[in-house]
Every structure is written in C-alpha cells, then in structure tokens.
C-alpha cells in the first residue's frame, strides 16, 4: 500500500468529499484513484476490498477502510481533531451528526430532475436557516470561543465549514442572519491547511456536474430516478 492515504471514489464530491476535507485540514497529502468504468468497480468488488460492496474506500495505515463515518472518525482521532476527552468527543459527534443531516439534503441534489432541484433548493435553505444554523450560531455565541468545541480546532469545525459553503452554493447570502457563523466561516477559512484546500488547484472537488452524475449512474448502474426529500 502507498505511504500516503489512497482514496477510491469518483472524480467528484459525494461521500468522499468530507474525507478529503478532513485529511486536508490535518495537512495530510493523499492520492486518489477515480472510478470511471464499471470494470474498475467490479475489480474492487472481486478483490474483497469493499467490505459492504460500497465506496468510499480508503487505503491507510495498512487498512482498507470503508464506511464514511468510520473513516472520518479514524482520521479525526489520528490527527488530534477529535477533542481532548470523551465529553468533547461526544459534542463533536453530535455536531458532526447534525451537519451530516443537513448535508444529506444536498448529497443527492445533482441526481434530481430540474423541477425537483428547485424544490430541493428551497428545502435545503429552509432546513439550514431554521433547524441547523441556529444551533451553531447559539453554540458560538454562548461559549465565546473561536471553535465549536472547547477552544481547539476539530472535525466539527471542518465539517461545519464544508456544509456552510455547500449551502451558500444554493443561496449565496444564506448567512446574512447569522453573524457568529459569518465570523466562524472567516476564521476557519483562514487556517493555513484549510486556506490551501480552498485555493484553485487543490484536490477539493467542484459542484457536481452532468458528467459526474452520468459516471456515477453508469458505474453503479443507477437506472432509477432520485426523488426530492
């Protein structure tokens, strides 16, 4: 196995993007193998590398890891982005879980019909501004620290920034009523490893386009239509 983590996924965001974000935040260089054909996917299946017959899959530290949450937890713990004790870890898990719920409304957006995309866009903004962003706004206001948990940069901060930027792609002024989150976004974006990941030419993936959608459908044989939430 490569000394660098090696990521197996499509050349797009999907469930792998949060893994890219977290590795980048930790300052870890990684390699990627993009799935472009059904044959590539079949070979991974036949090799037994995909424990539950799914990607993302990450080769790291002599392991072939699957299940996104397990991969992220391992990276967070390995690179000291998981709090200083069990209580902080529990808070990080709660905040990451909430952010995951919000991201879930965005994940399948590229696979929707044009009509359903407009409906889903409204749902994403409504959920963000009424359910999720108010929670983080209050957390930051109440404990008066730069980060969500304790006063240390953690997985929760990385995940939230990723989600904020994803929602802003649906509505650019979505943070207009959240001054704490506006300041948080600026702070976290200026952290050197994050700043580097946000620059052009990094391994951060762009907004999914039709080519990405077509590749995923072909490789995974997704012949059904995804419906809006």
- Residue 218: partners with Cβ closer than 8 Å, 6 or more residues away: 37, 38
pLDDT of 53 reads 85
pLDDT of 51 reads 87
pLDDT of 1 reads 46
9 backbone dihedrals φ, ψ, rounded to 5°? -170, -170
Q: In the CATH hierarchy, which fold is given to the domain comprising 86-191?
A: Glutathione S-transferase Yfyf (Class Pi); Chain A, domain 2 (1.20.1050)
Domain ranges of the chain: 6-79+198-220, 86-191
Tell me which of 1.10.10.10, 3.40.30.10, 3.50.50.60, 1.10.8.80 is the CATH number of domain 6-79+198-220. 3.40.30.10
Q: What is the pLDDT of residues 95-124, one digit of tens each?
A: 999 999 999 999 999 999 989 999 999 999
The predicted model scores a pTM of 0.94
Q: Which residues of the chain have pLDDT under 70?
A: 1-2, 223-229
Cα–Cα distances in Å, from 217 out to 80, 112, 127, 169, 199?
Answer: 37, 12, 27, 23, 29
Cα–Cα distances in Å, from 164 out to 12, 56, 147, 170, 171?
Answer: 18, 22, 15, 10, 10
- Which of 58, 63, 60, 47 minimizes the C-alpha distance to 18? 58
pLDDT of 222 reads 77
């Amino acid at each position: 196995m490569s000394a660098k983590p090696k990521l197996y996924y499509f050349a797009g965001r999907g469930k792998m993007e949060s893994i890219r974000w977290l590795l980048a935040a930790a300052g870890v260089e990684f390699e990627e193998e993009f799935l472009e054909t059904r044959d590539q996917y079949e070979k991974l299946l036949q090799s037994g590398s995909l424990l539950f017959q799914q990607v993302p899959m990450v080769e790291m530290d002599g392991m072939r890891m699957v299940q996104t949450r397990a991969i992220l937890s391992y990276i967070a713990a390995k690179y000291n982005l998981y709090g200083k004790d069990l209580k902080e870890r529990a808070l990080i898990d709660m905040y990451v879980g909430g952010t995951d719920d919000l991201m879930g409304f965005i994940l399948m957006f590229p696979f929707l019909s044009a009509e359903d995309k407009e409906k889903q866009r409204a749902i994403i903004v409504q959920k963000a501004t009424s359910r999720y962003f108010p929670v983080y706004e209050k957390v930051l206001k109440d404990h008066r620290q730069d980060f969500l948990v304790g006063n240390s940069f953690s997985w929760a901060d990385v995940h939230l920034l990723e989600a904020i930027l994803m929602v802003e792609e649906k509505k650019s002024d979505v943070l207009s009523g959240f001054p704490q989150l506006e300041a948080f976004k600026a702070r976290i974006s200026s952290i050197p490893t994050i700043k580097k990941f946000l620059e052009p030419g990094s391994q951060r993936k762009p907004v999914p386009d039709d080519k990405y959608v077509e590749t995923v459908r072909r490789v995974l044989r997704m012949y059904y239509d995804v419906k809006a939430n």
